[in-house]
Amino acid sequence: MLEIKNLQVTAEDKEILRGIDLSVNKGEVHAIMGPNGSGKSTLARALSGHPEYQVTGGQVLFEGRDLLDMDPDERAREGVFMAFQYPVEIAGVNNAYFLKAALNAKRKHQGLPELDAMEFMSLVNDKAKLLEIDKSMLSRAVNEGFSGGEKKRNEIFQMALLEPTLAILDETDSGLDIDALKLVANGVNAMRSPERAFIVVTHYQRLLNYIVPDFVHVLSGGRIVKSGGKELALELEQKGYGWIEAA
């Protein structure tokens, strides 16, 4: 589903990714780990088309199409979702209104009829139940005055509504206490399906106790220096990143 070939990315004229190769198939969960500054968040943001990251080389195919040729909003409508590390606040814009607009932009793109308010609310109810999420955050402005945990839960809720084919989680666990972490992980697990792939970017192994990955990749210096199964994460937890960087 996703083919990354020799991807090179700079930010503020600094070379960050120096040639990433990665294949992700439907149904798989890939964890991207690595020390601070290794480029793992850059990978997530470059894939979603963040304007501050310039792709200087390589290729990314998403379901056979050139992902890098698409605008960020087109990537989203094609089914790429990124849960932000720092979700932004949009004052005065009702969360439900925002989500309905996003969902309908995607449905329109897919040639599906747009949902009206009633249909949308019943979908919201279903998803809220599935994720055990409090609906009251829908009537507030987008992320405005949300606690760190609420913001992350809102990201997962958006993901559940938009039903992406590829979901990228950019350090979603940062700043979460254990209860919030479990809620987020449960949401992701409820969304796992043979039709959907996840790229989970994280610094700590902790999240991977709850979201068990199929593959773990370790980034260092802008390259994938080691790949393995879920046991690789445990090994990292014990030994730290030092032994990989030294290797």
Partner 1 sequence: MSTSTETIEQLATREYKYGFVTDVESETIPKGLNEDIVRLISAKKNEPDWLLQWRLKAYRLWLTMKEPTWQNVKYDPINYQDIVYYSAPKKRPALNSLDDVDPEVKRTFDKLGIPLEEQKLLAGVAVDAVFDSVSVATTFREKLAKMGIIFMSFSEAVQHHPDLVRKYLGSVVPHTDNFFAALNSAVFSDGSFVYVPKGVRCPMELSTYFRINAKDTGQFERTLIVADEGSYVSYLEGCTAPMRDENQLHAAVVELVALDDATIKYSTIQNWYPGDKDGKGGIYNFVTKRGLCAGRRSKITWTQVETGSAITWKYPGCILQGDGSIGEFYSVATTNNWQQADTGTKMIHLGKNTRSTIVSKGISAGHGQNTYRGLVRVGKNAVHARNYSQCDSLLIGDKCGAHTFPYLEIRNTSARVEHEASTSKIGEDQIFYCRQRGLPTEDAVNMIVSGFCKEVFRELPMEFAVEAQKLLSVSLEGSVG
Which positions touch partner 1 (CB under 8 A)? 48-52, 54-55, 68-73, 75-77, 81-82, 84, 87-88, 90-93, 98-99, 101-103, 105-106, 109, 141-142, 158, 162
3-state secondary structure 175-207: CCCHHHHHHHHHHHHHHCCCCCEEEEECCCCHH
Residue for token pair 């959907």: 196
Please report how close the Cβ of residue 165 comes to partner 1 at its closest, in angstroms.
13
Rounded-to-integer distance, Cα 215 and Cα 229, Å: 5
The residue among 142 and 208 lying less far from partner 1, judged by its C-beta, is 142
The residue among 10 and 220 lying less far from partner 1, judged by its C-beta, is 10
Please report how close the Cβ of residue 233 comes to partner 1 at its closest, in angstroms.
27
DSSP reduced 3-state for 84: coil
Residue 89, both tokens:
């606040």
Please report how close the Cβ of residue 48 comes to partner 1 at its closest, in angstroms.
5
The residue among 82 and 128 lying less far from partner 1, judged by its C-beta, is 82
The phi and psi torsions of 44 (rounded to 5 degrees) equal: -60, -45
The residue among 82 and 211 lying less far from partner 1, judged by its C-beta, is 82
The residue among 48 and 220 lying less far from partner 1, judged by its C-beta, is 48
Rounded-to-integer distance, Cα 219 and Cα 203, Å: 10
Please report how close the Cβ of residue 100 comes to partner 1 at its closest, in angstroms.
11
Please report how close the Cβ of residue 189 comes to partner 1 at its closest, in angstroms.
22
Please report how close the Cβ of residue 161 comes to partner 1 at its closest, in angstroms.
10
The residue among 51 and 194 lying less far from partner 1, judged by its C-beta, is 51
Q: Which residues contact 43 (CB under 8 A, 6 or more apart)?
A: 7, 9, 17, 20, 32, 199, 201, 219
* Cα separation values, 2 from 22, 30, 159, 235, Å: 8, 11, 18, 27
